[in-house]
Structure 1
Amino acid sequence: MRQLRPLRHMFTALLVAAVLFGAGAQATAPHYRIVGYASRWNPVQDKDIGKIDTLIFAFAQLKDGRVVLDHASAERLHQLTALKAPHPSLQVDISVGGWSVGGFSEAASTAAGRQAFADSAAQLVATHDADGLDVDWEYPEHHESGIHSSPQDRAHFTLLLKAIRASLDRLGAAQGRTGTKHYTLSIAAADGPFVNGIDLAAVAPTLDWFNLMTYDFVNAMTPTTGHHTGLHASALIAGDGRTTDRAVEQFLAAGVPARKLVIGAAFYGREFAGVQPAHHGLYQRYDHFQGMLPWPKLKADYIGKHGYVRYWDGAAQAPWLWNAKTRRFITYDDPQSIAAKAAFVKAHHLGGIMYWEQSLDPSDELLDAMWRGLH
């Protein structure tokens, strides 16, 4: 397994690089992707569109084995693709799937089903002036979200992605979209046990990049609180608890090139109630999951307000909130933790950072932290 350099060595390495290469390094510096999932566009955010490389529309539907958009979804997608006229460097992709969306296992189970999926997806991308497809099957060989799964999903997913790649390339060639302008293909992928249904080494050559969903590590289905999008392991984490750096190690060990790994950041927090008070609620048992909180609400009503005290986990490089009176705990990303993720991406030569979701950061404060960290 490839070992990741400790974060404490990263800043030294970056400083040495700056001294050696000086200002001329900017001409050859690698490009890091900033990828945002979006269901619609808020014109207030127009001023920061230049900081985004790819917007991924969420979501197209899977109906009778074909990738489709209803009228309302098509209108929302058009809000995104219209941004390309004033911002020609912007790429807009379409994602199909999402949590609890089924039909993937059935469609991928036969050659005819895979071809119907692939051809309909490629045609949808071309028809709506998009630039690529993102497949968000959550998850092959898993049925936690209530969808059908099969022990053959792993092999079938590889074949499905190859079929999609071929359909996108065929249609792209007919339209003159080749080379750097080719239609891209990515997948949204989780880590830990949720990735055992994907043959990572086999699909990596087919994909332009992986959107690593390195968030929701703790949720309503986990027994304790914790950092839901932590970069490293907290001193309190149990065993092989999920973290961003452990996810990256897992994918690298499977043979995925570092430049194809785009780690995830969350523009929302997760709140737990009835939390045991030890360690200010961190990695403690709780009575029930309270819900999700968007970044603006965290700032307006929670961080440093109404009894919520912010703490910083130096080992995990992640913040959390604890309300000792109400015994409520909130885990989230903020500009400091996102800056740490950006530094991690650069230190380990990864592909960039993606986030969920565009509308949850209307002031672009978190996006700006991401952009400044990577550029």
Structure 2
Amino acid sequence: MAFGIPTSSGTFSFDGDWFLPALVTSMHSVGTKVLMSVGGWTGSNYFSTIMKDAGASSTLISSMVSYVKANNLDGIDIDWEYPGRLGDNCNVFDVANDTPNYLKFLQNLRAAMDTAFGTRQKMITLAVRVQPFDINSTPSTDVSAFAKVVDYANLMQYDINGGWNNVTGPNAPFNFQQGEGLQVSFVSAINDWIAAGFPANQLTAGIGFYGRSTIALEDMTKDPTNQYQPQSQVVPLGDLEDAPWYDVCAGTTANSGVWQWKHLRDQGVLTSPGAAAAPWVRQWDSVSQTPWLFNPSTKQFISYDDPQSLQVKINYAASKGLAGAMVWSANMDYNNELMNVLHSWPSGPVVTTSPPATTPATSSAPGTSNTAASTSPTACQTPTSATSATASTSTMTTASSTPVGNGPVAGSACASAGMYQCANSSGNAPGYFLCLYGNWVAQSCGSGTVCQQSGSSISCGWPSA
């Protein structure tokens, strides 16, 4: 579930408390662990100040333990973006002290969890960026102490290049190309964390079920082997769920440019997983091991992952002994085309899914790992992770084009995976349901918004007067 948002005093709140009991019961009934993720892209503002204040740090630990106990959860996930470096523009950070303060906090959290519930009875997981935690603007060379007190670190190996760059480039490269784009990748993330002492079997590979679009300044089909070409830093609208989003911290409004895999497929950009519909042209980059699309008419470039690129990634992750994969997010798939690849994990299907999204996120800053999804909660298989997001409005395919009266019951059977239904037809209630793994899962629109139905889609928007 995501996200619990901390206050400066160390307390935190989650705006989905109203449906939490039913969700936990539903997920536990099918053997799925449920963790609360605290933080995220827009929820990491106070971590630095909390960690350096003994009182606030103790309050946050007590809040986490109490929340796990009160809601029968299986643990806590912490998504601090990022210790020792700037994430969202509102975030406080301390280049020298964030990482050592974080370790002390996690050691104390582990001790508190073990005291309250028994040794290692509850999980602590972390969402982490592609390089180990920074100290004095340099990635740590030894993070082994972190691994001793947490269960898993979930690598956010996406949002590596995007509209913040001067040139087009891969959202989630398997390998980076020397001198082009940010010099980190899927491979370097795994190797760097292992080299810094984090055991491979406590790492999960981060997979994004979405891509990012930008506008090239030239016709990229004239140099089809080069995916690094000059681009405008004005990001275009992405898929049908994208919209201009206001970033209160940056004081700017921008599109995310995000294209979910399902919309690359159902909006006709891709006619099959490996083929583009005209005027789109699909290319494959042999270094980043990812596909990219270009539309000569609009000069729009899209970098994304598909079954071919994901197979490369999971084969490598499995060969390095990783525990499995973390996905952002399961509901972005299309007919399980991507999830099926992850379930073919060479050593067996050890796969986790992060929370299905209701909205795209605001565009991220250079080199960040904020995800293109929102704060919709769900449960995850072990190991678990959730990542960053912001929320506004969104549109989703429904199980039926007929507005419903009383919605489905959480945990009851459903037939069409990935479908949505408003909890009722009033247009003034936040609840809706997602069909996931054959059962309806209760969800909620973001704070202040409600589920509304229009034709064959639902959306989370402002309530009517």
1:238 paired residue number: 180
* TM-score under structure 1 length normalisation: 0.76
Equivalent residues in 2 for 1:1-375, closer than 5 Å: 57-70=1-14, 72-75=15-18, 77-78=20-21, 80-88=23-31, 90-101=32-43, 102-146=45-89, 147-150=91-94, 151-173=96-118, 178=119, 182-192=121-131, 195=134, 196=138, 200-234=143-177, 238=180, 241-276=183-218, 277=220, 278-279=223-224, 282-288=227-233, 289-290=235-236, 291-301=257-267, 302-303=269-270, 304-361=276-333, 363-374=335-346, 375=348
* Distance change (3 Å), C-alpha of 1:118 and 1:316: same
Matched residues, number? 310
Is the contact between residue 292 and residue 301 of structure 2 (CA under 8 Å) also seen in structure 1?
yes
* Distance change (3 Å), C-alpha of 1:197 and 1:133: farther
Is the contact between residue 275 and residue 328 of structure 1 (CA under 8 Å) also seen in structure 2?
no
After superposition, what is the alpha-carbon deviation per residue over 1:276-303, rounded to whole angstroms, capped at 9, x for unaligned? Answer: 4233661222103331111111112322
Question: Aligned partners of 1:77, 1:362: CA distance in 2, in Å?
Answer: 27
Q: CA deviation at 1:275?
A: 4.1
Letter in structure 2 aligned against 1:318 = T
Question: Aligned partners of 2:343, 2:203: CA distance in 1, in Å?
Answer: 17
More helix by share: 1
Q: CA deviation at 1:197?
A: 6.5
Q: CA deviation at 1:326?
A: 1.9
Is the contact between residue 161 and residue 170 of structure 2 (CA under 8 Å) also seen in structure 1?
yes
Is the contact between residue 142 and residue 197 of structure 1 (CA under 8 Å) also seen in structure 2?
no
What's the C-alpha RMSD, in Å, of the aligned pairs? 2.3
Secondary structure of the 1:225 match is coil
After superposition, what is the alpha-carbon deviation per residue over 1:129-176, rounded to whole angstroms, capped at 9, x for unaligned? Answer: 211111111011222411011131121111111111112111112xxx
Question: Aligned partners of 1:171, 1:223: CA distance in 2, in Å?
Answer: 51
Q: CA deviation at 1:312?
A: 2.0
Question: Aligned partners of 1:99, 1:338: CA distance in 2, in Å?
Answer: 25
Letter in structure 1 aligned against 2:212 = R
Is the contact between residue 165 and residue 181 of structure 2 (CA under 8 Å) also seen in structure 1?
no
Gaps of 5+ in 2: 237-256, 271-275, 349-465
Q: CA deviation at 1:240?
A: 6.4
Q: CA deviation at 1:81?
A: 1.9
After superposition, what is the alpha-carbon deviation per residue over 1:198-242, rounded to whole angstroms, capped at 9, x for unaligned? Answer: 6623312111111100000012323322111122234x7628612
* Distance change (3 Å), C-alpha of 1:239 and 1:222: closer
Secondary structure of the 1:94 match is strand
Is the contact between residue 225 and residue 285 of structure 2 (CA under 8 Å) also seen in structure 1?
no
Question: Aligned partners of 1:67, 1:332: CA distance in 2, in Å?
Answer: 37
Gaps of 5+ in 1: 1-56
Is the contact between residue 261 and residue 351 of structure 1 (CA under 8 Å) also seen in structure 2?
yes
After superposition, what is the alpha-carbon deviation per residue over 1:78-126, rounded to whole angstroms, capped at 9, x for unaligned? Answer: 46423334312x1111111111321101110122222111111121122
Letter in structure 2 aligned against 1:283 = Y
Q: Which runs of 4+ in 1 moved over 6 A?
A: none
* TM-score under structure 2 length normalisation: 0.62
Q: CA deviation at 1:338?
A: 1.7
Question: Aligned partners of 2:334, 2:23: CA distance in 1, in Å?
Answer: 15
